[in-house]
Structures are given as structure tokens and as C-alpha cells.
Amino acid sequence: MSLKFTIVKKLDGTLGRAGSIQTPHGTIETPAFITVGTKATVKSLNSDQIKEIGIQCVLANTYHLYLQPGDELVKRAGGLNKFMSWKGPTMTDSGGFQVFSLGVAFGKGITKMTKGKELLLPEARPDDEGLPKLVTIDHDGVMFRSHLDGSAHYFTPERSMEIQHNLGADIIFAFDECTSPTESIHYQSEALDRTHRWAKKSLERHLELSKQNSEQSLKGGLQAPALFGIVQGGRHENLRKESAQFLADLKVNGVGFDGFGIGGSFEKEDMGSAVRWANEILPEDKPRHLLGIGEPEDLFQGVENGVDTFDCVAPTRNGRTGTVYTVTGKKHIGNAEFIDKFAAIDPDCGCYTCKNYTCAYINHLFRGKEMLAGTLASIHNLYFVTHLVSGMRKAILEGNFVRYKEDFFNTYKRLS
């Protein structure tokens, strides 16, 4: 078994649902937040701490692990789970996000979730001050220049599959081109054609490798993973729907994708629509993952529009820089107001940090540049987001999702 998805209950009047994804390393109860462990580590936390938080699954980065320590080494270690001493389910992305982050977004501050002022067409954007892009895209794949030493590496869909199979995650993703919403519709259309060609090649190579893995697993090798196709298409309804339909219909020898990811960089107000356009078309009986989205207000949109799992670096990245989530919104714990606040970040929070430390102490750690500061803030943020989403699951099952959402937004204010 590589994956089994079950819908337990649907959310009335929406595409939302509560379900479960069974993998070789355990079951993910959905909707669920998947934490990011880019280099086979959730920054500043060990596997016991991740488990105590309530994390169900960890997503690692194909590009980074390929460069260091190398996918072959991870395979020799027994795969991601053994290498990082994590017993739960794992995912790996395809490397496609680096097409975006090291390409059009490089040096420009464009992120997965943009605001209106950032949505300038390429010819209208300010000069990028000569910063070199670290990727070159062609018909067959992408040439990356390593951010570590500048060396050149060529990724094709087939190579991405080989690397991800070596890493040994339970769920892997087809190689795609993640585009910026600042790109023209002409470029978005070209990129979508590439993503669809690469999806077919990814599926073909995945099935070949899965057959090999199946034979090797009988001898104690890694089990074949489940493969998710990735919907792209930017901000354009026709392209998003075209992509969802293409991937839903795609079969190789009668076999299609095990699930689907929804990728791309979004404009804040467009995200819910872009997700809905795809999920209205994608097969209902297969899981859907929203790539790189994790702010609390965005998670509600995703769940209502049919997303089962999310991943994002925001909780840990924010934590390392002193921004913590609370029921009233995000706070900067290093601010002067917390110097002598001898209370937990969130008095009703059940995380290790809030049960053991005060704002005053954590403020002191950040001001003193102590390593423990990022650990304690990351624990709190991951707990907050993980339990917010598990609360959504419970609310769907109990039939009170609307009240749960209203109660949250009655107090939570987004920090601009």
C-alpha cells in the first residue's frame, strides 16, 4: 500500500471535508497542517519535539537534500524516516518551487502569497539591480546553479522522480514549473504546457521506479511512494481549470496520480478562487495538498475550498524571528511591551513553551540572541497552527465549522 484516502464527513455547502490518508508510516487525519523540514530537519526542533506538538507529517525539500547531503546518501541511510529519526509520514516536493524562488523571485522579495502592489507585469517592474537568476528553463527541464557553490545541476522530471524515490518519502510530487503571478498570461500558458509535459514524464518514470522498488522492497528496500500531480495556471481561471482537468484525466497504462497538489504563487485575494477552480474538477476521491500556504486566515479558505493538507515554512520562520501567533493575532515577542510580562504567550495554549515559560523570559532570549529563543517560539507557532487545523477537522465532524471559524476571527487580527 502506498496510499489510501477516505472521506469521513463533508462540510455542507462547500468543497470541504474531513478524512484520512493512510501511508506506510501512519495515517494523516485531515484536514492537516504538514510542517516543513527542508533539509530533513524542522529547524531548531528534534523529532520528539515535533511529535509532542502533534505534527502528523513532515515535508522535506528535494533540491536542498539533493545538494546536501545527496539523495544517494539518504537512500543508503534507509530513507528519510531513518535518516532523521522520524516515525511518521513524510512528503518531498519536486524541486519545482526552486524554479520560482531561484528564478523570477530571486532577489525581488516575491513570495508564495503576494499583495496587490507586487503584481506588476515584468516590463513594469523596477530593475532587479543585476541580480543573476540561478535557474535556466528549457523544454526538457531546468538548469539550477547551486546556491551553495554555483555549480550547475540539471533537473528533468525523470531526475526529480529518481531523487525523490531515493529519499524515500511516502508522498512525492511531479516536477512542475512554479510561476509568479507577476508573469503575463502568455508566459503562464507556456509554463503550463511545460508542467503538463513534465507531469506525464514524471508519472511514466515514477511507475518504472515503483516496479523496481516493489521488487526491492521484498528484499528489505524502500517502498514505492504515492505520486501527486501539481495544478498550476497562475491567477487565470481558464488555465487553472485546464490544468486540473488535464491532470485528472492523465493516465499511463491505466494508472493516474494518487493525489494532487495545488501550486503556484497567489495574490492574497485570489487564493480561495484559484483553489476552488481546481478542486471543483479534481477527483473527489483523491487527496489535495496546497503547497506553501500556512497563514491562519488562509487555512480556513483552503479547507472550505476542498484542501486536505497544507505545508508552509511560516510558523517556524516567524518563530525564529520572534513573531508568535496568538488568538488575537501575531505579536513580536521581542518588543518592549513583553520585557516584564510574566505570563505565557497564550494562557490557554497547551504547548510546551506556554506551559513552562513566560513572555519575559522568551523576550530576554531574543534580545540576548540565544538559540533557545527560536526553538521555544517555533514550538508555540507549530502547535498553534497544527491545532487550529485539527480544530477545523473536529468542527467539520461535529457540524459546527461555521461557529468555529466565526469564533476565531472574532478575536484574531491579521498583522500587516
Catalytic residue (choose from 170, 258, 308, 311):
311
CA nearest 245: which of 258, 266, 229, 267? 229
For residues 178 and 239, the answer to whether their CB atoms sit within 8 Å is: no
| Pairing of β 171-173 and β 226-231 | parallel
| Amino acid letter, 383 | Y
| Amino acid letter, 161 | M
Is residue 258 part of the annotated active site? The answer reads no
Can you tell me whether residue 23 is helix, strand or coil? strand
Is residue 270 part of the annotated active site? The answer reads no
Q: Identify the H or E element spanning 71.
A: helix 71-76
Catalytic residue (choose from 93, 270, 298, 308):
93
CA nearest 247: which of 348, 172, 176, 298? 176
CA nearest 89: which of 208, 206, 4? 4
Helices (H) and strands (E) in the chain, counts: 15, 18
Q: Please, what is the angle between helix 401-411 and helix 371-398, to 10°? A: 140
Cell reading at 108: 525581488
| Distance of alpha carbon 164 from alpha carbon 68, whole angstroms | 14
Q: Identify the H or E element spanning 27.
A: strand 26-30
For residue 32, the cross-strand partners are 309
The Cβ of residue 294 has, within 10 Å, a number of other Cβ atoms equal to: 27
| Distance of alpha carbon 231 from alpha carbon 248, whole angstroms | 10
| Distance of alpha carbon 399 from alpha carbon 41, whole angstroms | 36
- Report the greatest alpha carbon distance in the chain: 65
Which are the catalytic amino acids? Answer: 93, 311
